[in-house]
Amino acid sequence: MSRRQKFGVLSDRHMLAFAQSPGIGFHHASFMVREPDEIGRAGRWLVDKTGKGDRGFGRHTGGSNFLGSLGGVV
């Protein structure tokens, strides 16, 4: 079974990344969404739950991916 048959869509991005850090914590994750508005809704939900974040939208130069509301590549 090909990746396209198994997952439906091919992506040029990883879904989860691990990075060396001076402390314990989450670095970033990547998710496929149907529309950019979903990124904003997810970011607003996280801010409402945690009281942290919300940097707004941007674009990642490498893959032209959206940067989410908390600053991560989406």
Domain borders along the chain are 3-67
Q: Which amino acid is at 60?
A: H
pLDDT in tens, the chain (74 residues): 555 555 555 555 556 667 777 888 776 666 777 887 887 787 778 778 887 765 556 655 556 566 655 544 44
Answer yes or no: are the C-beta atoms of 74 and 63 closer than 8 Å.
Answer: no
Q: Which of 31, 72, 70, 41 is nearest to 54 (CA)?
A: 70
Rounded CA separation 15/28 (Å):
9
Task: Determine the longest span between alpha carbons in the chain, in angstroms.
Answer: 43
Answer yes or no: are the C-beta atoms of 53 and 72 closer than 8 Å.
Answer: no
Q: What's the pLDDT at 45?
A: 81
What's the DSSP call for residue 73?
A: B
Q: What's the pLDDT at 71?
A: 47
Q: What's the pLDDT at 47?
A: 78
